[in-house]
Each structure stands twice: as structure tokens, then as C-alpha cells.
């Protein structure tokens, strides 16, 4: 069975570090990468068509980001990732992916170089740490690409 590393992608540097680590690890273990991009649900707008347009634009941006990251993954590690884009709460979306039945080997999240952890790291390393169905890998944001290469 192939090891799948689940990475939440967004426009942050910590997501880039997590994706690079997951790609290198997957390449070394014969595994794969599943990228999850989450689009927050738009706040209620009185006119439904405006809300739908806002959500569709956000979804298109997330899909473009994921496709760009997928291209980088192919160039860096020769891995074609699976991509999922969801609208909703990021924590609930990650939990749904982890319980979907797909063989996730690890949830890979990036941490900011300084300051408090982001909401995903805080939640999964805190509240849900003991009940995760797979290991959690937190990639420090201060690592260089060379460090990530060496550690993966």
C-alpha cells in the first residue's frame, strides 16, 4: 500500500515548507501527496447570487494555487499529487479527509517561523492530537530548503 501524505495548501510560506517536505518524503518512500485546499465559506450575503459568485471566485483562486503547487511538486520531486478543493471550515475539512478511508500515512502541516501556531497546528497538535488516525508531522517554518531535503 502506498503512503499518502496529506498537506493543506494555501499561500503561506509554512504551507510551502510542508508541501516540500511531504514531496521529498513521498519520493523517498514511494508514496504520494494529497493536497487539500480549503476555501472558507463566504459570509452570508443578502443576495444569494452574489454569495455564490464570491465562493466560486475563491474556489477558482484555490484551484489555481493548488495547480501551481502541483506543478512545483512535479518539477521538484516527480510526483503527481491528488488535489481536493473544499469549501468550508479548514479543521472540519481536514478531519473529513482523515476519516475518508484513503490510506493517509501522515498529516503534514507547516508552522510559522515565529509566534503562536496557526489554527490547524494548534488544533491538531492540541485538541485532537491523541485521536488522529495517523501521525502528525509539523515542519518548522524556519527550515531552509536544504534542511528540508536533509531531514526528509
CATH of the domain at 21: 3.40.50.620
Q: Kindly report the pTM of this predicted structure.
A: 0.82
CA dist 21 and 81 (Å) reads 14
pLDDT means over runs of 10, the chain (152 residues): 87 83 88 85 59 64 68 71 85 93 92 90 90 94 86 82
Provide the 10 A C-beta neighbour count for residue 17: 25
Identify which of 126, 99, 105 has the alpha carbon closest to the alpha carbon of residue 21. 105
Domain range enclosing 133: 4-151
What integer pLDDT is reported at residue 14 of this predicted model? 85
**What does the pLDDT read at residue 124?**
93
Q: Structural domain tally of the chain? A: 1
Amino acid at each position: 500500500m502506498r503512503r499518502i501524505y496529506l498537506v493543506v495548501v494555501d499561500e503561506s510560506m509554512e504551507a510551502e515548507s510542508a508541501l516540500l517536505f511531504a514531496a521529498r518524503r513521498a519520493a523517498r518512500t514511494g508514496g504520494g501527496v494529497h493536497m487539500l485546499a480549503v476555501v472558507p465559506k463566504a459570509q452570508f450575503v443578502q443576495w444569494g447570487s452574489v454569495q455564490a459568485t464570491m465562493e466560486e471566485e475563491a474556489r477558482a483562486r484555490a484551484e489555481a494555487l493548488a495547480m501551481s503547487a502541483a506543478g512545483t511538486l512535479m518539477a521538484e520531486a516527480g510526483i503527481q499529487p491528488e488535489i481536493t478543493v473544499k469549501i468550508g471550515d479548514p479543521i472540519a475539512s481536514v478531519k473529513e479527509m482523515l476519516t475518508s478511508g484513503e490510506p493517509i500515512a501522515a498529516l503534514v502541516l507547516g508552522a510559522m517561523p515565529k509566534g503562536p501556531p496557526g489554527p490547524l497546528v494548534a488544533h491538531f497538535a492540541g485538541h485532537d492530537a491523541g485521536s488522529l488516525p495517523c501521525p502528525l508531522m509539523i515542519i518548522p517554518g524556519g527550515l531552509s530548503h536544504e534542511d528540508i531535503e536533509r531531514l526528509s
